[in-house]
Structure 1
């Protein structure tokens, strides 16, 4: 499987492609309380991964909610909450080339998930882009 690196700020080092973290569950409980067939963990992960992938297509440009909404069906308010959550944690819409704080690289293997590896020397790595090389 082709591996890509996704650079994220250190405060988002908890993020993993193959898992849904407790931070996600606590912040967006409507997807994890089994009260709605249209809001499930699977649907959350589909929204999350799509939005992040859409941002990664052109990480130098801000990804708007409208751009995401055009491609996702479901409760518009729930989709917005996922978008806002990802933006809050700088998993989308952050300047990857100009991070001044510690950053991490997350391997996107999709089949086996991603692993985050801390980097105290994030700025020394090859800069710019989405880290995919």
Structure 2
């Protein structure tokens, strides 16, 4: 029983394990690049629908050549579009945080509070108008 186990270990040498792991990681890397290209095709707002369909068909029918040609032809734009997308996400997140931190007061509630302050004499007419402009914009 022990001899069979030892033979099994010798049937698959260390170099074979290394090459198998290397091919697996190259395959995973290939999938990451393929999906990044596909995402970039759909993310590009300058491409028409037909151009997106053409690139997608090219990348899916002839994957290695399609991805290689896409990266050569449009690789620089991929990075720029990725940066723009991240900036848009950051702005949306910051806007959400600001709106949430401000509370659930609506513009009408804020205008009512400003009107009350003006009627009590706390705010002058000019201050009220400036504050109203901030609320409305």
Larger strand proportion of the pair: 1
The structure with more radius of gyration: 2
* Higher RCO (C-alpha under 8 Å, 6+ residues apart): 1
TM-score, with normalisation over the residues of structure 1?
0.23
TM-score, with normalisation over the residues of structure 2?
0.22
Larger helix proportion of the pair: 2
